[in-house]
């Protein structure tokens, strides 16, 4: 049996491929557990300097495996009712706080929790044939996988409310227009485009990237005074890094800096 999640590490880039193409990478318990373990591992691995998440086959991820979910509900198993706290919340928290850039290469439909996973990444590159669907209302559920937090920040409260309540699919081009994705590329270019961006980020000042992400996350809910204090704290830490010292010297010497993430 093929692994439900493929993890590859090359030149500082970890690529996580959801690998249940026969179900458009719907999230079974096995896949949710594997994804949780993998995102935690790459977050902790200092050799990983950028992360790509994508799907095998024609879908990125259509969210919860509803066949498995329904079977568990019918059997009286309480597990489906705890999957949000047990599986989705840890994955989304780890992705959002990942101390390195994360790219979603959205190769097909991203629905429900699949969309939530993409929204929690720092960059979203979409295939021209990809789409998004905030599908929770269609099955009588509220939001999970961080969508309540990420989606309004990406597209604004009014548009996020409409997307969630109407639960209508959004094409890749429409997603680009509303700022839901960073770029739309031809299907045969998506993997290369994602790897090129990941390689560029992996060669960059990854300690500074982590600090920038932390600073922006803090500022999203803090006052200006608190944010200024946090910026000063993080800037002081980054000023003491080898990357800052080496990049400053390279700038003065009119050379390209080499970043090590330290």
d(CA 250, CA 189): 34
Report DSSP state, residue 182. Answer: S
CA distance 100 to 213: 8
Q: Tens digit of pLDDT for each residue in 104-134?
A: 999 999 999 999 999 999 999 999 999 999 9
Q: Measured between alpha carbons, how far is 207 from 68 in angstroms, rounded to an integer? A: 41
pLDDT score at 82: 85
- Residues 234, 217 contacting (CB under 8 angstroms): no
- For residue 203, the model assigns a pLDDT of 96
Structure tokens of 22? Answer: 């026969």
Q: What architecture does CATH give domain 5-202?
A: Alpha-Beta Complex (3.90)
**Strand ranges in 37-157 using DSSP code E only, listed in sequence order:** 50-55, 59-61, 102-106, 109-111, 123-127, 131-133
The reported pLDDT for the residue numbered 52 is 98
4 band by pLDDT with thresholds 50, 70 and 90: very high
Average pLDDT, the chain: 94
């Amino acid at each position: 049996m093929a692994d439900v999640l493929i993890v590859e590490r090359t030149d500082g880039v970890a690529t996580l491929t959801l690998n249940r193409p026969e179900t458009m990478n719907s999230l079974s318990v096995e896949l949710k557990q594997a994804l949780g373990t993998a995102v935690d591992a790459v977050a902790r691995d200092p050799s990983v300097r950028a992360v790509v998440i994508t799907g095998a086959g024609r879908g990125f991820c259509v969210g919860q495996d509803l066949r498995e979910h329904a079977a568990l509900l019918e059997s009286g198993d309480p597990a489906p009712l705890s999957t949000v706290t047990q599986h989705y919340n840890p994955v989304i928290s780890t992705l959002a706080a990942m101390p390195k850039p994360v790219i979603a290469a959205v190769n097909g439909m991203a629905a429900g929790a699949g969309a939530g996973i993409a929204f929690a990444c720092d960059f979203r590159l979409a295939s021209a044939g990809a789409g998004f669907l905030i599908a929770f209302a269609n099955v009588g559920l509220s939001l999970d996988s961080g969508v309540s937090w990420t989606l309004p920040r990406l597209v604004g409260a009014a548009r996020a409310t409409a997307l969630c309540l109407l639960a209508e699919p959004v094409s890749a081009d429409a997603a680009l227009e509303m700022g839901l994705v960073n770029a739309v590329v031809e299907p045969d270019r998506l993997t290369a485009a994602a790897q090129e961006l990941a390689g560029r980020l992996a060669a960059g000042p990854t300690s500074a990237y982590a600090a920038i992400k932390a600073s922006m996350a803090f500022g999203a809910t803090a006052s200006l005074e608190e944010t200024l204090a946090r910026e000063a704290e993080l800037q002081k830490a980054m000023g003491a890094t080898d990357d800052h010292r080496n990049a400053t010297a390279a700038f003065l010497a009119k050379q390209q800096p080499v970043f090590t993430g330290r």
